[in-house]
Amino acid sequence: MSALVLVVEDDPAIGSGLCRALRATGYDAPWAQTAAEARRLVAADPPDLVLMDLGLPDEDGLDLCIALQREQPDLPVIMLTARAEEMDIVVGLDGGAVDYITKPFRLAELLARVHAQLRQREHRHRVGDAAALTTLQVGDLEIDLGAHRVLLCGTEVALRPREFDLIARLARDAGQVVTRETLMHDVWDEHWWGSTKTLDVHLNALRRKLGEQPGEPSRVTAIRGVGYRLERVRPEPR
């Protein structure tokens, strides 16, 4: 069964071109030109991935991305945007997108990123059952790999799929430094095309969700120029 990739794009030339290219690659590719139509299509037939323009006529694409992620946390969203400023990209990734592509883009690169995200999603689903009986305990964090849950002092923390994958990967080598390259390979994809800034954005979001404030000691220590280490015991506040 072919993957279903929803295109959300109000520009007729770009939208129709994307749909043709995706269908030629073997994907089902419905097309929505407004946020309202995208919501209707997602509700009627949940896609495997969404390609979303941020500049929609009836709603900002970032708000739509956040809403879709709230309803379907495992749904990967790739942003298509003319907003090339770093802060716009960071905000988009922080809003739940797994990747971003700035316009104008190369079609071959876009298709490669779509394929990589779909492969990652399939891999997460495939290994889920194998991890069903595995629980990792790191200090006051309990990471249930099978249930895809993180508990902090017994209270569940709501994480997006990539945030969960990141804390789980660090927890497997708790107390040791995991390099940036290893994290990008294991949590994202060995053929990742984008900037590694997405790693920093996801880690900052993860720290906030674990109740940590900027400037205070963190469970996740950054080793400059190398990678990150999940501490076995959370450092005490200064």
Lowest-pLDDT range, 122-131, 157-166, 222-231?
122-131
Q: Report the distance separating Cα 137 and Cα 14, nearest Å.
A: 48
Question: What pLDDT does 133 receive?
Answer: 52
Q: Do 213 and 177 lie in a common domain?
A: yes
Q: State phi, psi for 46 to the nearest 5 degrees.
A: -55, 125
Q: Report the distance separating Cα 117 and Cα 123, nearest Å.
A: 10
Q: Dihedral of the CA atoms 150, 193, 78, 212 (nearest 10)?
A: 30
Q: Do 96 and 143 lie in a common domain?
A: no
pTM for the structure as a whole:
0.60
Query: Where among 78, 113, 128 does a domain terminate?
Result: 128
Q: Do 217 and 102 lie in a common domain?
A: no
In the chain, the percentage of residues whose pLDDT exceeds 70 is: 86
Reading phi first (left if > 0) and then psi (alpha if -120 to 50, else beta), residue 175 is in left
Q: Report the distance separating Cα 40 and Cα 113, nearest Å.
A: 25
CATH of the domain at 49: 3.40.50.2300
In the predicted structure, residue 203 carries a pLDDT above the cut 60: yes
CATH of the domain at 177: 1.10.10.10
Closest CA to 99 of 113, 83, 118, 119: 113
- Per the domain annotation, does 237 fall within a domain? no
- Per the domain annotation, does 206 fall within a domain? yes
Query: Where among 69, 102, 128 does a domain terminate?
Result: 128
Q: Do 54 and 155 lie in a common domain?
A: no
Q: pLDDT of 94-109, one tens digit each?
A: 777 888 888 888 899 8
Q: Report the distance separating Cα 61 and Cα 91, nearest Å.
A: 12
Q: Report the distance separating Cα 166 and Cα 170, nearest Å.
A: 6
- Per the domain annotation, does 31 fall within a domain? yes
Residue tagged 């963190």 (tokens): 218
- Per the domain annotation, does 111 fall within a domain? yes
Structural domain of 104: 5-128
Q: Do 44 and 103 lie in a common domain?
A: yes
Q: Hey, what amino acid is at 118?
A: L
Q: Do 124 and 145 lie in a common domain?
A: no
| Count of domains observed in the chain | 2
